[in-house]
Structure 1
Amino acid sequence: MISPVMADILRAFHAETTPRLSDGCVSVLGMDQLSVSLALEGRLTEQLWSTDETSTSFEDLQFTVGEGPGPDALRTGQLILEHDVSAVPPQRWPVLLPAMARLPIQALFCLPLALGGIGVGVLTALRSTPGPMTGQQMDDALALAATLTLRFLGGDGEQLVASVRPGSESHRAVVHQATGMLSVQLGLPLAKALLRLRAYAYGHDRSIIDVAQDVVARRLKLDNDRPAPEETRE
C-alpha cells in the first residue's frame, strides 16, 4: 500500500493537464536523487527529468559507456536493485563501475517503466549511503513507476519534458546533432557515428555532452579511425 504522502503526489500528478514531477518524491523514497528516462531505440534512452547534477551525470555516464542498471532494466523489464554498489561484481558492469567511482552513489535502484512487453523508460533512484529500500519505499516507488508508465503510454512524455524544462530542447539534443554531423563527415551510419562519439568521450574522460558541443561548434574533429593524436581540439 502506498503512503499518504505519495498518494497526494500521484493524485496531483494525475490531475495536471501538463504533468509535473514533484521533488517531494525524493524524500518520500528515502533517496538523494531521482531521474526518469524515456526509451528511444533498443537500450538508448533520453533523460526527461532529474533532480540534480549527480543523477544527470550518472545517466550521461550510462549513455556514454552503453551499460549499467538503466539499460539492464530496460532490456530485461526487471527491477535492478543494488543496495551496496561496492558489492557489485566488477564483471557485471566492467566499464561503468570504475567510471562512476567519482560519483557519490552507494545504492541504486532502477525500475522499468513497462506494461506487459512494452517498455517505455526507466525510473532511477540513487543514494549516497548503502542500504535497501524499506517495504514502504518500494511500494511508493512501484506506484510512481506505474503512474509514469501510464502517462508515457498515453503520449505525455513530451509534455513532461516541457513542464520540467519549459522552452528548452531535450537534454541530449546536442548529442543527436553531433551524431548527425559525424555521420555525414565520416560517412558512417548514425549508430556507428554515435559509437565514435561515445568512444571519444569515454577515452578522454569527458562528458558526452561536452564532446558533442565541441563537435557541433567545430572545435573538435574526429577521424574515421580509432581515437588518436590527429583528433584534436582547435
Structure 2
Amino acid sequence: MADLGALADDLAAIVAEGGPEAPRRICEACMAALPVTRAAITMMAGADRQEPIWVSDEVARQLDELQFAVGEGPCVEAFTVRRPVLVADLTDPTEQVDGRWPVFAAAARRTPVRALFVLPLQAGAITVGVLDLYRDTPGLLEPDELNGALRAADAALWALLGMRSGGKVDGAADGARRADPHGWLMGSPLRRTEIYQATGMIIEQMQVTPEMALSALRAHAFAHDRPILEVARDVVARRLRFHEEMQ
C-alpha cells in the first residue's frame, strides 16, 4: 500500500522549497511511494502545444514525444477533457484504446508500459499540463494510491506555477511566442524551441493559423516517416519550405 502520509509530507516540502528541480523531485516521490515504473510532467498550452518538463527515462520521453507528434493520446485527452485518464492494460481490448488513440496505442504497446495514469494539472478554470504515471505491469491504482497520485498532480501544478512566476526563458523564439500566445510554455526550459520556431515560419509561408501550421508539420513528418524535430530543423534551416511543399 502507498504510504500517503510520507508522500504528502514529501510533496508539501517540495512545493514549499520550489525551484527548477521540483518537477523531478515530484516524479521521483511518486515512483518511490506509488506502484509506478515511470513518470513525467508535461506543461501544455493546448492540445497541440506541449512541453516536457521532466521525464524519468527514455521510454517516458518516447511516449511524450509520440503524443506531441501525432496529436493524440492520454496526455491530450486528460488535458482536453480535464479529468484523469486511467488505463489498466493497454493490451486489453475492453479498454478501447485503439478507438481513442489508434496511432499512440499501437506504438505504446511496443514499449514495456502496460498501465498508464495521466492526471491533469488544474485549478478552477486553469489547466497547465499533465502528470504522467506509467507502470510496466497491468492493473489500476488502488483508491489510496490514486489519491496519492492526485496529491502529486496538485503539487506539480503549484510547482509549475511557481516556475512560471520566475520569468520567461531568455531568447525564446518568436515562433514559440506565436504558437503559445498565452505564454504558458515560456516559463519552461524550451526543449522544443525549434518546433515552435518552425511553426512560426510555416505560419508565414502558408498564411495559416498556428494550429494549421503545426498540423502541416506533423503531417509531413508522418508522411515521410521522420521525427517531427528533424522536420522542424529542416524548416528552420530553410531546407524545407511549406509553400513549396504544398504546390
Contact kept? 1:37, 1:47, Cα under 8 Å = yes
Preserved CA contact (<8 Å) 1:48 1:160? no
- Of 209, 214, 218, which residue of structure 1 is paired with 2:234? 214
Indicate conservation of the 8 Å contact 2:88/2:115, yes or no.
yes
Structure 1 residues 109 and 156, CA gap change in structure 2 (3 angstroms): same
* Equivalence for 2:141: 133
Are 1:203 and 2:211 counterparts? no
1:156 paired to 2:163: yes
Deviation at 1:207, TM superposition (A): 2.3
Query: Which residue identity does 2:200 align to in structure 1?
Result: G
CA contact (8 A) 1:178 1:213 kept: yes
CA deviation after TM superposition for structure 1 residue 224, in Å? 5.2
Counterpart Cα distance in 1 of 2:33 and 2:229? 31
- Give CA deviations for 1:157-190 in whole Å, capped at 9, x if unaligned: 475998xxxxx94121111011112222333332
- Residue of structure 1 aligned with 2:77, choices 51, 72, 77: 72
TM-score (norm 1): 0.81
DSSP-derived class of the 1:40 partner: strand
**Contact 2:85–2:118 (8 Å) recurs in 1:** yes
* Code of the aligned partner of 1:65: V
Aligned-residue CA RMSD (Å): 2.8
For 2:233 and 2:109, locate their aligned partners in 1 and report how far apart those are by CA, in whole Å: 25
1:25 matched to 2:26? The reply is no
- Contact 2:89 / 2:114 at 8 angstroms: preserved in 1? yes
Match of 2:110 among 76, 98, 102: 102
Once the 2 structures are TM-superposed, how far is the Cα of residue 99 of structure 1 from its aligned partner? 3.2
Equivalent position of 1:144 in the other structure: 152
Question: Could you say which residue in structure 2 is the equivalent of 1:165?
Answer: none
Q: Distance in 2 between matches of 1:158 and 1:124?
A: 23
- Asked if 2 retains the 8 angstrom alpha-carbon contact of 1:31 and 1:125, the reply is yes
Which runs of 5 or more structure 2 residues have no equivalent in the other structure? 170-187
Q: Alignment identity in percent?
A: 35
How far has the Cα of 1:101 moved from its partner? 3.4
Match of 2:90 in 1: 85
Q: 1:52 aligns with which of 53, 57, 78?
A: 57
> Contact between 1:43 and 1:75, CA under 8 Å: does it hold in 2?
no
8 Å CA contact retained: 2:205, 2:241? no
* C-alpha separation in 2, matches of 1:14 and 1:178: 35
Residue 41 (structure 1) aligned to one of 42, 46, 53: 46
Question: Normalising by structure 2, what TM-score?
Answer: 0.77
